[in-house]
Amino acid sequence: MGSPQFLNSPKTFVVDAIRGAVASSDDLRWHSEPGYLTRRESLPRGQVALLSGGGSGHEPLHAGFIGQGMLTGACPGLIFTSPNALQVRAATESVDAGAGVVHIVKNYTGDVLNFTIAEKMVAENGIAVEQVLVDDDVASESDDGPGRRGTAATVAVEKICGASADRGDDLATVAEFGRRTADNARSMAVALRACTLPGADRPSFDLPDGEIELGIGIHGERGTERVPGMAASELVRRLIDPVMASLGLGDGERVIVNVNGLGATHELSLNLLFAEAATYLADKGVTIERSLVGSFVTALDMDGASITLVRADDAMLELWDAPTAAPGWPNAPSRTFREVPGGIEFRAPIADEESTDSIPDSDVRLGRPAVGRWIADFAEKVLAEEPNLTDLDRKAGDGDFGTNMVAALEHVDIARIREGFALPTVFETVSDAYLGHAGGTSGALFGIWFRQFYRAAVDNPDGLDRSALATAARAGMEAIMELGGARPGDKTMIDAIAPAVSALEGATDAGLEDALRQAAVAAADGAEATRESTAKRGRASYVGEASRGVVDPGALVLAWFFESAVGTRSR
């Protein structure tokens, strides 16, 4: 049994915490629809705005760095889950003061995908956006895959960009300072004990007594190497050497050093690590210009630390030294207490149009009854299998996939899907639920997937035949591949979708029922094939060979999607 936690409910943990954050800060406002934070006071007209965001659990990042001289707003996701595109779009529109918005995005697939979607949306309204991608974690550095993760260097980017914007620099200049900072920053982390998610009964990974995990991520991911515990002086060298190598940092160069606690590391330990880091860098001929020691980018209650080095120049140091009122920055305490607000919640509208035409089933088309049974059965299956999906993702990812599925599907009305909604609305309501409530990579990709079937239902008012289903599935596959970058064989949902699409498109001489059955078998086989592959995309890619032997949960859910369609006309 797990240790007790400060918790009312895992489902309300984030919003319960936001209530306290808003109450304890002078300049923080919560916007419930669809859920984002901004400064209480608007920016002066003509000033560049800064927006960041990411999964909760990393506090004070990002909410603690909202304030004059740093961020204008932030989009919090659920624990270790990116915010969704609707949050980012609304927040961008809210903070824009007419000079454009800089998005500071950590390099995780879900964060990048959702911010990118939002950027395309706000561009339609004439809002200029520049994205600064933070990718500093050398443990995830590779020639292929999604690239280095974004971790503690995010704080430096937010500080330097914030000061640039606050003094009146234009959008291009602020973004350039951000990119310069990100390009010259690298980090490496270690864990002495893994974190435990709210409501979980065990840590995100098991670490034997006497051993430590090098190269861990800030979402509770396992590291790249497990080694016996060692003296702090030796550990600091193990962290700094790959950072210096990645930066090409040499004798005579100047740096900003951030020794960052991951949530449960005492300040004494962090100061010890900084002392060792300063000694080691001096031996290497590297000059420390500025230091930042404390817990700024955490992983819930992980006992561990990261070391970040930022190659610095005079212009960057001037911005680093500029004042800020952000409460998470050192020496910026709250001045007054505000009443604890009520009504902190995420609200995202979900389609709910009732059926006005039954659209009957036929031998060649799925009508309103069959589609309702299909998607209702699918949703019930996924909700029932949440523990198994979570366990699969815990073995080869960060353990949030099952909870993301539930976060979406618990907001749909399964009874009305089965018998009440209009045929297009059956797909639209599920798409809205994923896009507006799940967040993360899975929320965005499943939302886009169901959106293609909604469009097919709109375009085919008499029901969905084999050709319409094949067209929708292919469009969904192509959209997911474009946004997420995955290809067949990367151990993702595409491995189930691609063979199902081929089966549907190739079944030109088969009846509808037989075509659906062929697609279901192909998807199931594709999902099973992921068991012996190594992930190249998504968070499972960060654990390398540890993902082998585990079926990809996204592919499994897509196999259930096609399986649930079989026999719906006769039920």
| Amino acid type, 329 | W
The residue annotated as part of the active site, out of 62, 219, 411, 437, is 219
Residues 6+ apart with CB under 8 A from 64: 21, 326, 327, 328, 329
Instruction: Determine the 3-state secondary structure of 489 from DSSP.
Output: coil
Q: Which two tokens stand for residue 99?
A: 């000079």
Sheet with 185-193, strands from edge to edge, namely 225-228, 211-214, 185-193, 303-311, 254-261, 287-294
Q: List b or e across 379-388, with b for residues whose CB sees 16 or more CB atoms inside 10 angstroms.
A: beebbebbee
Q: CA-to-CA distance for 204 and 553, rounded, in angstroms? A: 17
Q: Which of 209, 217, 314 is nearest to 262 (CA)?
A: 217
Q: Residue 3: is it exposed, middle or buried by C-beta count within 10 angstroms (0-12/13-18/19+)?
A: exposed
Residue 263 dihedral angles phi and psi, to the nearest 5°: 135, -40
Q: Which two tokens stand for residue 110?
A: 């879900």
Whole-number CA gyration radius for the chain: 24
Q: Which two tokens stand for residue 508?
A: 């030109």
Three-state SS string across 102-168, please? EEEEECCHHHHHHHHHHHHHHHCCCCCEEEEEECCEHHHCCCCCCCCCCCCHHHHHHHHHHHHHHCC
How many CA within 13 A on the CB side of residue 33?
3
Residues 6+ apart with CB under 8 A from 511: 363, 364
Q: Is the dihedral of CA 360, 366, 371, 373 positive or negative?
A: positive
Q: CA-to-CA distance for 509 and 424, rounded, in angstroms? A: 27
| 266 is annotated as an active-site residue | no
Q: What angle do CA 443, 444, 450 make, to 5 degrees?
A: 85
Instruction: Determine the 3-state secondary structure of 330 from DSSP.
Output: coil
Q: CA-to-CA distance for 360 and 13, rounded, in angstroms? A: 44
Active site residues: 219
